Amino acid sequence: MTTTSSSHPDAKLQVGRLPHRIDLPRLLCPCCEQIVSPLPALHSIEPCRTCRRPLALVRTMLLQRAYRLANLLELIGSGYGVATSILVIAFVLSGMDVRTFAKGVTILMFVIGSVLLVDGTLSTRTAIDRSWRRLRFGATARVIGAGKLAAGLVAMSLTVIGLSL
């Protein structure tokens, strides 16, 4: 049983007196910066309790057994940027057909449109938004969320046009 005094201000000292406990660092949500507890299991996706963004533990590139908590919407957005660059470079450098390029752009529009619609909906519902590495709350977050919803609808409209090509 613990013999530590409840009035002791040093929490780490209390953990040190209990050898069966491990002082794990608390992981913060990459979107709303609140403590995520419990963490999602490996290979599973759990919504953040505060901002509802889909979170998962993903392996870091540098260390094989190290994981970080990631917002999947942000990950897909990063992948979209890389894929767009590759598509444009491939179009410029290779003899890619214009129709094939347009189909590629259509697929990318669908991906980013879906991300914007989900993120915009969550921003308007929770009043928590992270855009351009800045966290915003309240009415501002809801306005940005509405903007993301509008941009997502435009992207989906372009997807429909692209499918008809």
Among residues 27 and 153, whose Cβ is nearest to Zn ion? Answer: 27
Task: Supply the Cα-derived Rg of the chain in whole angstroms.
Answer: 22
Is 8 within 8 Å of 50 (Cβ atoms)? no
Binding mask 50-69 for Zn ion (x = CB under 5 A): xx------------------
DSSP state of 150: H
Cβ 58 to Zn ion, closest distance in Å?
16
Interface with Zn ion, residue 70, by CB under 5 A: no
Q: From 122, 112, 125, select the one nearest 152 (Cα to Cα).
A: 112
Q: From 153, 133, 34, 124, select the one nearest 78 (Cα to Cα).
A: 133
Among residues 34 and 85, whose Cβ is nearest to Zn ion? Answer: 34
Interface with Zn ion, residue 29, by CB under 5 A: yes
Cβ 59 to Zn ion, closest distance in Å?
21
* Interface of this chain with Zn ion, residues 33 to 52, rule: CB under 5 A: 48, 50-51
Cβ 66 to Zn ion, closest distance in Å?
21
Is 37 within 8 Å of 48 (Cβ atoms)? no
Q: How far apart are CA 155 and CA 165, in angstroms?
A: 16
Interface with Zn ion, residue 32, by CB under 5 A: yes
Cβ 161 to Zn ion, closest distance in Å?
35
6 phi, psi to nearest 5 deg: -70, -15
Choices 10-18, 31-39, 56-64, 150-158; region in contact with Zn ion by CB under 5 A: 31-39
Cβ 134 to Zn ion, closest distance in Å?
15
Is 105 within 8 Å of 165 (Cβ atoms)? no
Binding site for Zn ion (CB under 5 A): 29, 31-32, 48, 50-51
